Structure 1
Amino acid sequence: MKAPRLTHKVQQMIQQAHELAERNQHASIQSIDLFMGAALVRKGTLREMHDLIEPNLDEIEGLIKSLSPEASSGIWIESFSKPPSLNTLKIWNASIDIMKRYNQTFLNEGHIIKAFYSLLSDHPELESGLKVVRKESIMQSVTSSRDLTVDLLNRDWSFKEDGQVEISFVDIKEKDALLSWSQRHFGENWSETLRCAFQSPAPHIPILKAKMGGEMVGFAAYDVYMNKKGVFGPMGILPTARHQGVGRKLLYAALQSMKEKRYMYVVLKEAGPIEFYEQTCNAKLIPLEDWK
């Protein structure tokens, strides 16, 4: 079975799940292997997940040894070194459905953990054993959009134009066309957020657009979310234009503009593809203030 595009954290999660399965002599990747494999990545939100689970590691280790083996699916998935169990295969397929529902093209750790918990009731023995773990806190950390910060002073955000992607500020005269386009492709909420940008007294409307072949394929906005200064987002790229550097160029152009406004830090508000921002601009998670 061909796997979708995987984030680096998901690739590491699969490797950790394989090592757990080997260590516990599992013939197939069990659902508990996948769950604990996520925690053992210990990066970003998965570092938080590990910290939440750590007080109960001894109990979970005992749970792993006591669980009845899950039947193997007998199906090989690309990137897996063992076939997943039937339960793990259900989680995997459900996580891909979640990814598609959010119109995303990389499978990330949030999709998998959300799928894991959505199907946990199908495995009463595992569900009972994991009651020691703070489910709501893990869900809040790993499966929700998160705020991040970017230090603008640590680099020059300008980039070399390549001729394939044209980045420019939106003009006031493009208001109706932009709002209509954004509503059609990304929904009413984002369109209404962008509307705030046209009330800005700044020389530039704080929205950048990306064009390929003369057609608009994406946008990035800042200083528009609840009219708060120093906040980046939203940003949207048409699915057909993804994986071609459009998002990175829009992001860098916006960050460079914000740096020129003498902002020292930027908040990435409710970022979905967290790993994209971690890798492209060294964004750092803002820790959750309290765990529910």
Structure 2
Amino acid sequence: MKDSKRLVRILDEAHQSASPITCSAFLGFYLKDSGIIQKAVHDYLVQTNTEVALMDSLNRLDERSNVTLYNSYLLSDNLYKAIEFGAARAEKFNQVIMTDAHVLEGILSFLPDTDKWLDILQLTSSTHDLLVTLPISRVPMTPVTDIKAASLIDKKEILDFVKEHFSLRWTEQVQRLLIEDNGIVLIVREESRLAGFCCYQKQNAKRAVFGPMGVRKDSRDSSYGRSLLLSALHDATENGFRELLISEAGPIEFYERVLPLQLHTKEKG
């Protein structure tokens, strides 16, 4: 299990001013980060005037705590347990990278007054819809990879791939998009084997909806995910869409590194 770049950055910054790094120190440096979820959590704490109360709860959690070494960081025992919790959460969802959100979910779950912080748990542990405005004037060039639009000839291979590496729910979504006129499925191969896929579909004349996207677990250190995303972005732009809605984005840090984003509130009805 690898740590995300943001998680490493938070631990590095906390390490410079706190020894051991406590749960409250982790939250403090988490809130200083520039991510859209971090901003949403910060805004929530300001609006509800609850930051001091949360910090007090975390300080009590770390009272008389033992210390544990994690990589090169000296952590409070409870923060170490939160990292173990985060790794287990990532593993449960077949992810190879543990994020700051996984760890914060663990921290908040350990609080005796967890019910008070359910809104923050919802922000940090749920998937979110993200909105990208098109066209984007400055987007990194797509790395050279063999990405193509899938056809019905590829249907069985793609569905078998999604079912094996992901979920039945995604398999059903991809199957539908392969046969619908308003759906596009892009695939990438590593030599002759499928390495990943992504989908987008027309929501209306202005907006396309992106997702799902998945890369085979043993290929996630490649640039395939980024290449698939940018290929879909350029394709949607060429087809005249002015917005790309990334539906139920789990690894938000991945999308933030590539695109300018804003959180999107789901429409009712």
Asked if the contact 1:18/1:29 (under 8 Å) is kept, the reply is yes
Residues 87/231 of structure 1: CA separation in 2 closer, same or farther (3 Å cut): same
CA distance in 1, matches of 2:164, 2:181: 27
Q: Which of residues 51, 55, 65 in structure 2 aligns to 1:57?
A: 51
Matched, 1:174 2:171: no
Matched, 1:30 2:22: yes
Quick check: which has more Rg, 1 or 2?
1
Residues 259/91 of structure 1: CA separation in 2 closer, same or farther (3 Å cut): same
CA distance in 2, matches of 1:196, 1:70: 55
CA distance in 2, matches of 1:253, 1:242: 17
* Structure 1 residue aligned with 2:260: 282
Query: 1:108, CA displacement in angstroms?
Result: 1.1
Amino acid at match of 1:251: L
CA RMSD of aligned residues (A): 2.8
* Structure 2 residue aligned with 1:124: none
* Structure 2 residue aligned with 1:98: 89
**Where do 5+ consecutive residues of structure 1 fail to align?**
121-126
* Structure 2 residue aligned with 1:138: 120
CA distance in 2, matches of 1:256, 1:288: 24
Asked if the contact 2:132/2:244 (under 8 Å) is kept, the reply is yes
* Structure 1 residue aligned with 2:133: 151
Q: How many residue pairs are counted as aligned between the two chains?
A: 263
**Where do 5+ consecutive residues of structure 2 fail to align?**
none
* Structure 1 residue aligned with 2:71: 78
* Structure 2 residue aligned with 1:231: 209
* Structure 1 residue aligned with 2:192: 214
Q: Which of residues 118, 125, 128 in structure 1 aligns to 2:109?
A: 118
Amino acid at match of 2:211: G
Asked if the contact 2:143/2:223 (under 8 Å) is kept, the reply is no
SS in 1 for 2:75: coil
Asked if the contact 1:231/1:268 (under 8 Å) is kept, the reply is yes
Amino acid at match of 2:79: T
Asked if the contact 1:42/1:50 (under 8 Å) is kept, the reply is no
CA distance in 2, matches of 1:62, 1:184: 46
Residues 84/158 of structure 1: CA separation in 2 closer, same or farther (3 Å cut): closer
TM-score, normalised relative to structure 2: 0.85
Residues 64/276 of structure 1: CA separation in 2 closer, same or farther (3 Å cut): closer
Query: 1:147, CA displacement in angstroms?
Result: 0.6
Matched, 1:14 2:4: no
Between structures 1 and 2, the one with greater strand share: 2
Amino acid at match of 1:219: F
CA distance in 1, matches of 2:70, 2:76: 11
- Superimposed CA distance per residue, residues 222-281 of structure 1 (whole angstroms, 9 cap, x where no aligned partner): 0179xx961000000001111210011111111111111100110000001101111112
Query: 1:9, CA displacement in angstroms?
Result: 2.8
Asked if the contact 2:129/2:266 (under 8 Å) is kept, the reply is no
**Which sits farther off after the overlay, 209-218 or 178-187?**
178-187
* Structure 2 residue aligned with 1:185: 165
Q: Which of residues 21, 35, 38 in structure 2 aligns to 1:43?
A: 35
CA distance in 1, matches of 2:44, 2:178: 43
SS in 2 for 1:233: strand
CA distance in 2, matches of 1:196, 1:270: 18
* Structure 2 residue aligned with 1:88: 79
Instruction: Indicate the percent of aligned positions where both proteins have the same amino acid.
Output: 22
**Which sits farther off after the overlay, 175-184 or 30-39?**
30-39
